[in-house]
Every structure is written in C-alpha cells, then in structure tokens.
Amino acid sequence: MLLLNVFYLPGSIGGALASDRIGRKRTMTLGFFAQGILGILMGVFYRDLLDIFPLFVVLYGIFMMMGEFGPGDMLGLVSAEIYPTAIRGTAYGWSAAIGKFGAFVGTSAFKPAIEAFGRGDAIQGQSRVFILASGLALLGSIFTWFLIPDYSKRNLHEEDEDFKNYLASHGYDLSNFGNGGGLDEETMEDVEKHSGAFEDEKKGF
C-alpha cells in the first residue's frame, strides 16, 4: 500500500505543472483518458497480471497517478474558477457535495457489481468492474472536453464583471455589490438561483 501511495506525488506535481502549461481542461481530459485506456487494458488482462504481481502494482500505481494528474488535481481547481466570487463558496460546496455523493454511490456499488459480474468467479467480477469503471473515466474525458469551459487564461476579475453585468441586465439592485456591504439574504438567494442560468447563457444553452 505504501508503494502505491508513492505514485500519487508525481501525479499531483505533474498535474499542477501541466495545468498552467496546457490548461485545466486539457490536463483533466488527458488524465481521465489515460486512466481510462490503461484501466481497460488492465481489466482485460487482469487475471494474467495477477500472476505477475510486481507488474500489476506498477501499472496500478500509474493508473492512480494519472487519476491524480487529471481529475485529482483539476476537479477542485476548475470548480473554484468557473464560479463568480459572489457565489463561489456556495457553488463550490454543492460541487463538492455532489462529488462526495458520487464517491459514496460508487464504492457502495463495487461489491454487488463484482458479485453480479463474477457469478461465483471473483477474479472475473473484479476484471469486469475494472473495465466498467475505466469506461466511466473515458466518459469523463468526453464530458470534460465538450462541456467544461477552459478558464486557464481568463482573469477571474473578468468573470466577476460578466456576472455583475448579467445581474444588472436582469434588474438586480447592485448598489451594495462589492463595497463591503454585501447583498441582503433575499437578493443573495435570487443570485444563487439564477447563477445556473448565467452559466448556461455563457455556454449558449
């Protein structure tokens, strides 16, 4: 287990360096894609790899490293950057909560999935679940590439100004916006409710 954890560090450092060089979107897409391809190959040859355990450990370590390189590093960063400052705390909290719920559902489903796919053969069940989970990583790379905006070169102040202009164009009172007075509770609820419409409008939905 200690040896496997060693692979996390180069993945984290590599992702941090790549995020500014090739952008958050490309980094996360690459991490998802590499993890998906490697995971499917490991799933296909799972039974054989168990007979060469050192090779399995190295490949699984690289598998986890790519997960840290892409989604591990980028999910939190992208979630923080795509929301305007006025709603960032709340919106990031929702993003994190949805992610934790997904992790709970995924880990809870592993054992029943292994039993269902294996039909008495645990190795076969693990192999097929590995392939299934890696397929979801490939799906994640597609979703990232086509649905996630790339704010790598975007000034976050510009995002705040766009959001402020959006609110103004929809009739919100911005007299206290950004001067330390804050928005009243009712206005803040409206802002958070319509923030999704702001994001959709930017994407052209």
Neighbours of 5 (CB within 10 A): 10
Task: Express each pLDDT in 164-191 by its tens digit.
Answer: 888 888 888 777 766 544 445 555 556 5
User: Does the pTM exceed 0.85?
Assistant: no
Domains, in order of start, for the chain:
2-147 (1.20.1250.20), 156-203 (no CATH)
139 Cβ contact partners less than 8 Å away, ≥ 6 residues apart: 36
Question: CA-to-CA distance for 128 and 134, rounded, in angstroms?
Answer: 10
pLDDT tens-digit map of 12-56: 999 999 998 999 999 999 999 999 999 999 999 999 999 999 999
The amino acid at residue 125 is G
pLDDT in tens, 77-109: 888 888 888 888 899 999 999 989 988 998 899
Question: Does the CA dihedral 174-177-183-189 come out positive or negative?
Answer: positive
